[in-house]
Structure 1
Amino acid sequence: MVQTNNFTKMIPPIILSVFAIYLTIGMTLGILPGFIKTNLNLSNFIVGAVIGLQSFATLFARAYSGKITDTKGAKNSNHLGILLMIISGIIYITASLFADNVLAAIILLIIARIVHGTSESLAITGALSWGIGLAGIQQSGKVMTWNGIAMYAGIAIGAPAALWLKSAYGITTVFILICLLSAASWLFTIKLPSLPVDLSLMRSPFYKVVGLISQQGLALAFSAIGFACISSFIALLFLDKNWGNPSLAFMAFGFFYILTRVLFSSFPDKFGGYKVALVSLVIEITGQLLIGFAPSKLIALAGCSLTGIGFSLIFPSLGVLAIKKVVPQMRGTALGAYAAFFDLSLALAGPAAGLIAGFYNYQSVYFFGGISSLLAIATLFYKKQ
């Protein structure tokens, strides 16, 4: 058994691997909308549909990725995901070479997004389960926290980097880099030991695991709505209020999200996931209400900052509670089921918030976010009874 004091030796390669994976995701988010809209001359609906395909593929692959992680090993799941990511990069490259043939290009992009989303599910479920197995269950919250930092940092850096590379060297270069980053992700972890797999265990079906962790999953889903409201509508709110550059809002959220994870990564393990999640949700509610009532840009930025602080530790805090619901041999399935609640929340929150904004105004969206976080607290209190 790997000792828990090996965290600093075993986990950094996994964090670097996850960072490289999410650089590829951030890069596609940065350049694909413009490529589809401008180069292929297709509609905004097609842009949204193609971009959203990856998230849906990730969601639907969660059960499979959990099963592979538990039955074939976390290392195998992670490396299978990375292999599929390299294949998606090759399909992206091919699509860019068929830019003059719109039908062929869009079909290839659709296939690439499905493969990319499936690869994300396998790679990240494997990475989380692998990291927790290597570091020890006592540091599971810390493992999830640092994985989250790598994920959000990869997306934040990947998008602008891809835009710069596209303008300097062309879009095909960006897609080649996606393949190279995927290969680097594989190399980072190649020397790490595999975890043992117990094939004698009678495994619960995915739907039963969903039921076991549904309290934590639902609380995560409700809490993620505040994040979705910021990512989807904060730019439109700033535009509507004439508050200037909305990038400050994204920067405020992202900076305090990452800072909180860096400074307090040990809190879920040290104080317990339940307590940390409740405090985090109260902070998130405060941030959402500040944006909802904001009379000025500074108040709205303060709300984004508090939302970043509050949302930062919710995934690892509730994740600590979720994985304790199952035996270690079912950890991959539990993590896949838990993450599926997050995927589903992001998929549904945007359209729901859009309806609210259409009926009322953009600031009302953040009352929706605040109420959703309150429902997350109610879900956890119901569990406590």
Structure 2
Amino acid sequence: MSASPVKSDPAPRLLVRLAAALFLSYMAVALPLAALPVSILHWPGYGNGLAGLAVGIAFFSTILSRNHAGAYADMKGGRPCMRAGLALYVTASMICVLAGLSALPFTIRYAILITGRLLLGVGESLTIVGMLGWGIGLMGHERAGRVLAWTGAAMYGAFAAGGPIGLALYEHGGIATLMAVSALLPLAGLALVHGVPATTPHAGARPPFWRILGTIRWQGMAVALQGVGFAALGAFLPLRFIHAHWSHAGLGLTCFGVAFVAGRVACGHLPDRIGGLKVALFSLMIEAAGQYLLWCAPSPLLAFAGAVLTGAGCSMVYPSLGVEVVRLVPPHMRGTALGGFAAFQDLAYGATGPLAGLLADRFGYDIVFLLGGLCATGAVTIVLALLNAPVAEGTR
């Protein structure tokens, strides 16, 4: 009697499919990231602070919607949550197309951008939390680190490609063309996830959101401090290149993104294998080195090197600390916990844009990378404290 063939696990293949859909869809976020500040700075009376606000405002609406997105993913499942987020990506980008109408006053165009960016932030919250819940449901919590790693690889792969492509679209067609393309790509993402099966939500009592935040507060603070360097680089590295009259302003974002994705692909298994805190500690030290190099870089080559180090360092911080978060909460609260965890990072992203813009207006663009380096160093001290703290039984 012959042995029956062993069925291969379809979950990794489905996770890659979700990640590919997220890569396409996240272009709605990545394409405008570098181009918007460049565009707004050409408007009369608009400086770095308002340019940074237009970028960072999306993260505030993401923060405010994380609790609801997490609860939605926990109770209804990751599939409907992610699909709703992708639909909002399309809607938000179509609203922002109107900001490209030159007949409108600049104040109206700016208000349209802010409206669209706020809606985009809600879409991001639903999309990412839904992707994480869907992916963990398919892969199992013991492979949560891989889900977090692939999610980030898709996001920042889009970030790497989106920076220079977004600038090129803006230069050739303006804001309207840029935003129209940003609306089309999430439609492709929706088509790609159509055949991926849903997962069954877990049941259980739901403690208050603020209690969950208290449970994960130190991991959240560390990932927030890490996010300052990322946000500073995304919003202000192209502007620093332009101000210094260096060529290839969008290439620094590509260097960051390529290093980020390479780190996720090469090291995505490490948090599940050796523990998230050890990986996070090493990663934060690399990020800090990259930010300090960007702060003092006298040439574009060294600035590119700083972007690579920052990308490699930022790469594994979120999934490494996210693995620790997943271990701290019961299965039916994972979406809410990961939503709250991401809210810490969103807060850093949202605050860094306008605050760093004000610093740049007064002290120049270099100062924002010093800020990023100091924040990453602060995150190192938090992770060191967590490594040396007593481990509660059942949390590891």
> 1:227 pairs with 213, 226, 230, which one?
230
SS of match in other structure, 2:195 = coil
Q: Show the counterpart of 1:317.
A: 320
Asked whether 1:206 is paired with 2:221, we answer: no
In 2, Cα distance between the equivalents of 1:196 and 1:30?
39
> 1:375 pairs with 371, 374, 378, which one?
378
**Kept in 1: contact 2:94–2:183 (CA 8 A):** yes
CA drift at 1:141: 1.4
Q: Which runs of 5+ in 1 are unaligned?
A: none
> 1:307 pairs with 310, 323, 334, which one?
310
SS of match in other structure, 2:10 = helix
CA drift at 1:316: 0.7
**Kept in 2: contact 1:36–1:42 (CA 8 A):** no
> 2:255 pairs with 252, 255, 263, which one?
252
> 1:125 pairs with 80, 104, 129, which one?
129
Q: Show the counterpart of 1:274.
A: 277
Give the TM-score, by structure 1 length: 0.85
> 1:194 pairs with 188, 191, 198, which one?
198
Q: Show the counterpart of 2:61.
A: 57
**Kept in 1: contact 2:137–2:200 (CA 8 A):** no
Mean alpha-carbon deviation: is it higher for 53-62 or for 285-294?
Answer: 285-294
CA drift at 1:221: 1.2
> 2:221 pairs with 218, 243, 263, which one?
218
Q: Show the counterpart of 1:29.
A: 33
SS of match in other structure, 2:197 = coil
| CA-to-aligned-CA distance 1:329-354 (integer Å, 9 cap, x gap) | 11111111111111111223345555
CA drift at 1:233: 4.6
Asked whether 1:155 is paired with 2:155, we answer: no
SS of match in other structure, 1:191 = coil
CA drift at 1:303: 3.3
**Kept in 2: contact 1:65–1:333 (CA 8 A):** yes
In 1, Cα distance between the equivalents of 2:30 and 2:234?
14
Q: Show the counterpart of 1:66.
A: 70
Q: Which runs of 5+ in 2 are unaligned?
A: 1-6, 390-396
In 2, Cα distance between the equivalents of 1:249 and 1:268?
28
Mean alpha-carbon deviation: is it higher for 244-253 or for 17-26?
Answer: 244-253
In 2, Cα distance between the equivalents of 1:236 and 1:37?
10
Asked whether 1:77 is paired with 2:73, we answer: no
| CA-to-aligned-CA distance 1:189-241 (integer Å, 9 cap, x gap) | 12222121244x21012111111111111111122223334334545666777
CA drift at 1:380: 1.9
Q: Show the counterpart of 2:144.
A: 140
> 1:6 pairs with 6, 10, 13, which one?
10
CA drift at 1:326: 0.9
| CA-to-aligned-CA distance 1:345-379 (integer Å, 9 cap, x gap) | 12233455556667777655544433322321221
> 1:15 pairs with 11, 14, 19, which one?
19
Q: Show the counterpart of 1:264.
A: 267
Query: What RMSD in Å do the two structures reach over aligned CA positions?
Result: 3.2
Identity value in percent: 35
In 1, Cα distance between the equivalents of 2:115 and 2:357?
28
SS of match in other structure, 1:61 = helix
Structure 1 counterpart of 2:136, one-letter code: I
Asked whether 1:344 is paired with 2:347, we answer: yes
**Kept in 1: contact 2:149–2:264 (CA 8 A):** yes
> 2:95 pairs with 84, 87, 91, which one?
91
Mean alpha-carbon deviation: is it higher for 320-329 or for 7-16?
Answer: 7-16
CA drift at 1:134: 0.6
Mean alpha-carbon deviation: is it higher for 84-93 or for 219-228?
Answer: 84-93
**Kept in 2: contact 1:81–1:120 (CA 8 A):** yes
CA drift at 1:107: 4.3
In 2, Cα distance between the equivalents of 1:246 and 1:138?
41
CA drift at 1:319: 0.7
| CA-to-aligned-CA distance 1:143-173 (integer Å, 9 cap, x gap) | 1112112112223323443454566667545
Say how many residue pairs are matched.
380
Q: Show the counterpart of 1:111.
A: 115
Q: Show the counterpart of 2:337.
A: 334
Mean alpha-carbon deviation: is it higher for 113-122 or for 229-238?
Answer: 229-238
**Kept in 1: contact 2:53–2:354 (CA 8 A):** no
